[in-house]
Structure 1
Amino acid sequence: MDINDNIESPLYLQVSFNKYLKHYEALAKSNNELVVTKANQILKVASRYPELKEGFSDTSILKTRAKEIQLILQDAFSPLLTNNEIKTASVPFHNLIFNSSERFQKIIETAGKDFTLQIKNIPENDTYILACTIILNFCYGYNLNFKRPFYYEIPDAQGILHYYKILYNADFCEIIPKKHTKLITEADYKELLDNFENIDLWKEKFPVNSYSFKGFVVSNIFDVTDDQSISNIKSNLIGDEKRKNESFMEGFHEIFRSLLRLKDIKVGFSTYNKEDQVFERVYGAGVKSYLLGDRDNEKCIDALCSRSYNRLLLENKFFSISNVDKMFEKEKGHVPHILNLHEQGIKSAIFAPIANKNGLLGIIEIVSFKPEVLNSINANKLADVMPFIITAVERTQNEEENLIEAIIQKECTSIHSSVHWRFKKEAKNFINAELKGEEASFKKIAFTNVYPLYGQIDIKGSSEARNTATSLDLSLQLNAVKNIFVRIYKTQLLPIYQQFIFQIDEYLKGLETHFQVDSEQQISEFFKQDIEPLLKHIYTNDDFKDEIDAYFNSIDDKVNVLYKHRKDYDKTISKINKEMASLLDKKQVEAQLMYPHYFERFKTDGVEHNMYIGESITKEDSFNHIYLYNLRLWQLQVMCEMENAYYQMQSKFPVALDVASMILVFNQPLSISFRMDEKQFDVDGTYNARYEIVKKRVDKAYIKGTTERVTQKGKISIVYSQKQDEIEYLRYIKFLQSKHYLDTDIEIVELEDLQAVTGLKAIRVSVLYHKNEADKSFYSYDDLMKEIKA
């Protein structure tokens, strides 16, 4: 077999002791007789076999000349140090070893018959380029440092992985260009410097087997298990997504097994919540806490005995239990953490605090299912890795705090993605000002010349529906109390009961004839001040306990009133808002892809939305009015779809309510700015404020000369003030009529003047509905109601 088989390299490899033997040729001229004698002896042996000097690539020669090679290399592999040094002789980029120390051989034997020795950290795809850089250094005098530290990973008899670092001695190597090899020029070198990943270029400059390698390398190998374990811990703790990886903790166990030279150990974590004084589980794939067992969290004082509590939380020092079972018997199971470990079958353990100058952050828990394996002596080895674990936990906590803040921002005070760049820019300016020592202030966020779009899907008659629900609940509650008083009056003829019955009847009449704003408050006070104390007194009479229990069971604990019809109403409003907002949000994702714009929505008695579009928001020189027209058409179409979606799900709601949709058209660009106090955008300037006034009042506006509101169930109302807006939207309506979104009953009406706003008009047109998504028929609102009720 040839050494070069199955290897693609610019180096043609030959084992040769030529350069090594030249050292003995020099020693043969020494003044020291012993040195001369030994040198001549080695040179004599080598002279019998010219191939040892001239070089060979046939691996069979390594076997046939093994004794001679061992004799030649006896000074490099001293018999006195053979059981101490870990050393090999080999050729580069090859796992072929032809001479080694006794200690190295024992390490390989211990690893087992199935173990295959392989160099780690050699970049498999870059070995060709690595060989080229060695040629550039050897033959051309350049100083390129591409080599990374190489390692062996070899298990011991227990299966614990040990790490061995390889240091090469290349003093006995020769590299020379072959006869017809084209030499590298300065221009070639400079070209290669900028083309590391261009393997074709390297092969062009350094063809396969174009240089001859003669010699061998001596590898001095050192056990660096502790250092590498610490390095691996650092590497494992760096990744952001590590906790989501199933193999993360298993890898972590292996690293600690190598560090402590113990096979049967596991590692767990728990974090310390200072605010609540509890230990908490770390959530992640495969992450366990042996201190908490199967609990998610536990008060620190309940998880530890007082001595262990002081040791970890106050002194920030580790403690160990070398024999859990023995300690369990001694303390008769009264020590909480010993009891917990005992129940998990753990026999020995180390608990080490993860603490910085501010105190405890968490605990690292190392456990074994064998007694005496973990103890106070080997616990000291953790001192080398704790700084890295502390740093990782600090970083994780900072990331978690940042994530919490981000979630709060997203869920509570969200900054829309379209304008996020502007906030980010000001935040950077703020930070830079602080770093320069200047007075930092967050400047006003404003966008000029943007076009507004506003729409709402409003619940019609929500106030009346709420009043009706309240009236029904109060009537139920009053009648329930009246029945109790009527019954008790038959057994106890006290006039006060008659007076209460009379007062209840008066309230019931009032609810039937005219429900007023203060009716709810008056009746609630009546129940609280008069009825409840009396019912508690009557409760002492066993004859009325069941009825009074039934009454109080009908009262809602949270609002302290009978809450049946109002609950249905509130659920309906909540569900309408949730479903409509969800649909609008989904549609908005599509709209943003058409052209970026600012969007916000609000849940009231229905769902409102604001949109602003313009050059200053997009930050790019790309805005065109076509995007505004497109967004207006999109808005009108989506409002039709929301109307349809609502009436398809209306039957699922506890209360059947109607909705009405409206769009406000404002054809002049305006300026908006972010109000820090309210955490939202608002219009700037007196003229622009007119838009806000219209927006807040227009849905309550009447058609001129009538008592009819502009918004109406089954119709979409488009409010505007300019003729060009009317022409534009009639064009959109005609298009949506062709798609069966809208009916043909278009009407144009004038609106009564609002405060400081005159000349408003509205286009009203009926929406066409489907009974469900599969239905292909088109219905007006009235037709749809008939179909649903049929």
Structure 2
Amino acid sequence: MHTEVLNINKDNCFICQVDSCLSFNPFVDHLKERILTEKTLKSEFYKYVLNKFEHDTCIDLNLNPDNAEKYRDMLELIYSILTPPILNEKEFFWALSTPVPEKIFFSTEAFFDFHSSHHSGLHAADVTDTELFDQRQKRFIYNLILERFYGFSPMVKNELLYSYSDPETHLSRYYNIQTNTQFINIKVFGELPKLTFENIEPYLNDYEGIDLLEEMLPLSNFRFEGFSVITLTDVTLQHALENIRNELVNHSNNEADQYRHTIDSLKTLSENPAIEFGLLPFLTINDKLIFDTDECSQSVLITSAKQFSMAEETFYSVAADYKKDPKPIFFRSLTDEKITKHPFLNVLRQSGIKSYGIFPVYYNKQMAGIMEVYSYEEITFYEKLLSKIQAAMPLIAQQLQNSIDNFDSRIETVIKDKFTSLQPSVQWKFNEVAWEYLKKTNKKKKNQEIQTVVFDNVYPLFGAIDIRNSTIERNTALQDDLKALLSTIMDTLIVLKQHIHLDLTDRLIYKCEEWLKKVNGFITTNDELLLDGFLLEEVNPFLNHFRRNYPNEKAVIDKYFDALSEETGLSFANRRNLEASMQLINTSINHYFEQVQDDVQNSFPCYFEKFRTDGVEYDIYIGQSIAPTRVFDVLYLKNIRLWQLRSMAEVTRLTHGLIDQISRPLLTTQLIFIHSNPIDISFRNDERRFDVEGAYNIRYEVVKKRIDKVLIAGTVERLTQPDKIAMVYFSQAEAAEYLEYIKYLREQNILNDDLEQLELEELQGVTGLKALRVGVNYTPVPALYNNEEVKNLSAAN
């Protein structure tokens, strides 16, 4: 046993302000009580100890911890009474300290050695700085006061969790330091204030409350006498498990970080710095395993496979085979013989790994993934290792399953966002209808039909961004490709003619010339089919024959067949460039609307649905029935109409800025249909989309579909033109509203000062259509994309 003084916290000035003294009196009082109640032979020992204290002058003194050696006999008697006789002081962490723990003056050899070796490296796991340590000490003191004088339970337990990094293993270890306050008496100077639980309950659970308690119960009114008993327990394994549990509920970290923290805890559980762990959830798409995700980045096999370029087919085959027959596999050493039998081990050996094991992890009897155990040294006793981490396996299984669930949820979110009509703004209605359907089904009513989802009295907004002359552009691209193909055939035949003398060659050249003349004019779908027949039935068999039988001519003939490839061939180059250009435009427009979705929804929830045409069309519906918990006002309608006009200008500038970035320059036209009267819409279950409801409302849909190619009355000029926004309307009141918006945006340098008010031609069943048309100002730099983003989009498409 040691009587050297150990300072618990040298920097803690707060303790110096507390009136306390070291005394044995509370212990003596305890002995007297035990003698009266103890019925075993222990009572004789208690009497012996009590007699020693009563005949020693130290019982009536305020002791100095620095003089503890003078009272060693008394202190050893305290140790003998308070600890089990079979404990070995070289292994038991136990000590006595001043009443409010500040100085340790008597300790076991184990405690003294530990404190001397590790105290400088100890860190309170839940205390971040000196101020918080002071606050914990204050809480310790007020726990005593409230418990002794008011009968309130302690706010927190009298324990602290400390950690340190083991200098030999470099692994974290955790110790719980508990303080027994049984042998502390508290003297009060003056009268205690009356306190009820209701008075102080708000102050019991936070550090700020301690300052308020100091005002009600000044510490200057109290004196602490006696000593505290401190025990230190190694809780490394329990804390490592708790850390893994915390990761399961900690959503502040991304999954890769969560896995890293869990792996650190597994290493702590193993108590062996040479052992490493990997975790790999089994994520699947259509029952096929996938590994190219962040969740898989903590697998050493995945990392090594990528680093040393293992064939993807080989890796997936190994993984699929293992999933069919999962069982623990452990390779204590990676020998040539084992690598020959299991080739995937080679990439691990290239990474420097000498031992490797795979262990299946199950969640609810379903395989959730694997845990890897590996080392850069050879591991012999892995069975002992597995027994240490067995308690963590249910937590590991839950974490792997969480990754699977999160991955599936992300896939579902993308599908819902990108491929279905269901949006958060209307999700609540579908939830209600689905619940009503389930309630009826639960009542075992047969042949129940699900209720139609309807939103009544909603205001529609329609917009269309169309690629100008897309049909003409497609025909032109087709003609250019066919010319290139026919020219390639003729060049090939002319070369063959020099070495192979057949009249049939001249005939094929002649037919190609005839087709070139036809392609230069207008080509129909029937012409395309006839040309395909010419190639398949005459040209291809002819050239294939010479490619097989005349090796010297193979190279020139291969150029023709290479030209037939849709992905890379010359005969599809113009159509590929056109499709890539159109795709870039549409992708940019869609990306723009995805970016501004929040702006649209934040003012008032609405339903926003896009359609893919040669460009992009969209419907927006806004009204009280879409958000019944919000109060709808026409000002929200006006706000979204202004947003629509402004967004059309942004899209126009966006597509104009792409002209230099696309291989085939294309222009877009912009159209808005203004409709002031509310309509009803319903969800068509068969088509999985919303449609208008009722005969009157269908007229809105008819007009919307016919105005894209409408002409200005008395002319052959199309309303929609590049660089301009066209707004079609019936009512002059609608025009007046939009004139205000146009004026505002013109002053913002978004629109030009070239407004036109136009009469439109009559359409079938539709009369009285008018339009506003205004140009978009390209002077401001588009805010949505910078040049780098445009280049990235070009590369992606």
Q: TM-score, normalised by structure 1?
A: 0.83
> Residues of 1 paired with 2:487 and 2:623: CA distance?
60
| Alpha carbons 2:357, 2:374 under 8 Å: kept | yes
Map of 1:702 onto structure 2: 711
- SS of 2:616's equivalent? strand
**Equivalent position to 2:462, from 449, 454, 461:** 454
Tell me by how many angstroms 1:10 deviates: 11
Map of 2:82 onto structure 1: 76
- In the superposition, relative to structure 1, how do residues 396 and 12 fare at CA in structure 2: closer, same or farther (>3 Å)? farther
Tell me by how many angstroms 1:129 deviates: 3.9
Structure 2 runs not aligned, ≥5 long: 784-797
> Residues of 2 paired with 1:302 and 1:491: CA distance?
48
| Alpha carbons 2:710, 2:718 under 8 Å: kept | yes
1:555 aligns with 2:564: yes
- SS of 1:362's equivalent? strand
> Residues of 2 paired with 1:102 and 1:423: CA distance?
70
Map of 1:628 onto structure 2: 637
- In the superposition, relative to structure 1, how do residues 350 and 167 fare at CA in structure 2: closer, same or farther (>3 Å)? farther
| Alpha carbons 2:35, 2:43 under 8 Å: kept | yes
**Equivalent position to 1:13, from 14, 20, 31:** 20
Map of 1:208 onto structure 2: 219
Query: How many residues align structurally?
Result: 764
1:264 aligns with 2:274: yes
1:524 aligns with 2:554: no
Higher share in helix: 2
Q: How does 1:197-236 map to 2 (within 5 A)?
A: 198-236=209-247
Map of 1:255 onto structure 2: 265
> Can you list the C-alpha shifts for 1:219-253, whole angstroms capped at 9, x where unaligned?
4544444433333333344434545565963x545
Q: Which moved more, 1:530-539 or 1:339-348?
A: 339-348
> Can you list the C-alpha shifts for 1:349-401, whole angstroms capped at 9, x where unaligned?
44322124544332212223333454334333333222221222222212221
| Alpha carbons 2:203, 2:210 under 8 Å: kept | no
Tell me by how many angstroms 1:162 deviates: 4.3
| Alpha carbons 1:10, 1:131 under 8 Å: kept | no
- In the superposition, relative to structure 1, how do residues 771 and 66 fare at CA in structure 2: closer, same or farther (>3 Å)? closer
Structure 1 runs not aligned, ≥5 long: 775-790
**Equivalent position to 1:643, from 643, 652, 663:** 652
Map of 1:379 onto structure 2: 386
| Alpha carbons 1:305, 1:336 under 8 Å: kept | no
> Residues of 2 paired with 1:673 and 1:294: CA distance?
52
- In the superposition, relative to structure 1, how do residues 3 and 183 fare at CA in structure 2: closer, same or farther (>3 Å)? farther
- SS of 2:300's equivalent? coil
**Equivalent position to 2:411, from 385, 394, 404:** 404
Tell me by how many angstroms 1:749 deviates: 1.0
- In the superposition, relative to structure 1, how do residues 301 and 143 fare at CA in structure 2: closer, same or farther (>3 Å)? same
> Residues of 2 paired with 1:684 and 1:14: CA distance?
87
- In the superposition, relative to structure 1, how do residues 638 and 233 fare at CA in structure 2: closer, same or farther (>3 Å)? closer
Q: How does 1:359-438 map to 2 (within 5 A)?
A: 359-372=366-379, 374-413=381-420, 415-423=422-430
| Alpha carbons 2:99, 2:225 under 8 Å: kept | no
- In the superposition, relative to structure 1, how do residues 374 and 348 fare at CA in structure 2: closer, same or farther (>3 Å)? farther
Tell me by how many angstroms 1:409 deviates: 1.7
- SS of 2:571's equivalent? coil
- In the superposition, relative to structure 1, how do residues 387 and 499 fare at CA in structure 2: closer, same or farther (>3 Å)? same
1:541 aligns with 2:550: yes
> Residues of 1 paired with 2:581 and 2:167: CA distance?
70
Map of 1:570 onto structure 2: 579
Tell me by how many angstroms 1:470 deviates: 0.8
| Alpha carbons 1:470, 1:520 under 8 Å: kept | no
| Alpha carbons 1:447, 1:673 under 8 Å: kept | yes
Map of 1:728 onto structure 2: 737
Q: Name the aligned partner's letter for residue 228 of structure 1.
A: H
| Alpha carbons 2:263, 2:278 under 8 Å: kept | no
| Alpha carbons 2:680, 2:693 under 8 Å: kept | yes
- In the superposition, relative to structure 1, how do residues 589 and 529 fare at CA in structure 2: closer, same or farther (>3 Å)? farther
> Can you list the C-alpha shifts for 1:690-729, whole angstroms capped at 9, x where unaligned?
1111111111223445444332345433211223223333
| Alpha carbons 2:649, 2:776 under 8 Å: kept | yes
- SS of 1:719's equivalent? strand
Q: Name the aligned partner's letter for residue 753 of structure 1.
A: L
RMSD across aligned positions (CA): 4.3
> Residues of 1 paired with 2:40 and 2:653: CA distance?
107
> Residues of 1 paired with 2:367 and 2:311: CA distance?
14
Map of 1:88 onto structure 2: 95
Map of 1:343 onto structure 2: 350
> Residues of 2 paired with 1:450 and 1:708: CA distance?
34
| Alpha carbons 1:281, 1:288 under 8 Å: kept | no
1:171 aligns with 2:179: no
> Can you list the C-alpha shifts for 1:318-373, whole angstroms capped at 9, x where unaligned?
34444x16xx1665854446545443333444432212454433221222333345
> Residues of 2 paired with 1:592 and 1:445: CA distance?
20
**Equivalent position to 1:712, from 715, 721, 732:** 721
- In the superposition, relative to structure 1, how do residues 647 and 246 fare at CA in structure 2: closer, same or farther (>3 Å)? closer
- SS of 1:364's equivalent? strand
- In the superposition, relative to structure 1, how do residues 432 and 10 fare at CA in structure 2: closer, same or farther (>3 Å)? farther
Q: Name the aligned partner's letter for residue 501 of structure 1.
A: I
Q: Name the aligned partner's letter for residue 646 of structure 2.
A: Q
| Alpha carbons 1:715, 1:764 under 8 Å: kept | yes
Tell me by how many angstroms 1:463 deviates: 0.9
| Alpha carbons 1:243, 1:285 under 8 Å: kept | no
> Residues of 1 paired with 2:164 and 2:469: CA distance?
79
| Alpha carbons 2:458, 2:680 under 8 Å: kept | yes
> Can you list the C-alpha shifts for 1:69-103, whole angstroms capped at 9, x where unaligned?
33454433577634354332235663532222334
**Equivalent position to 2:611, from 592, 602, 625:** 602
Q: TM-score, normalised by structure 2?
A: 0.82
Tell me by how many angstroms 1:632 deviates: 2.4
| Alpha carbons 1:704, 1:750 under 8 Å: kept | yes
Map of 2:157 onto structure 1: 147
| Alpha carbons 2:725, 2:776 under 8 Å: kept | yes
- In the superposition, relative to structure 1, how do residues 17 and 402 fare at CA in structure 2: closer, same or farther (>3 Å)? same
> Residues of 1 paired with 2:140 and 2:452: CA distance?
56
- Matched-pair identity in %: 26
Tell me by how many angstroms 1:402 deviates: 1.6
1:510 aligns with 2:521: no
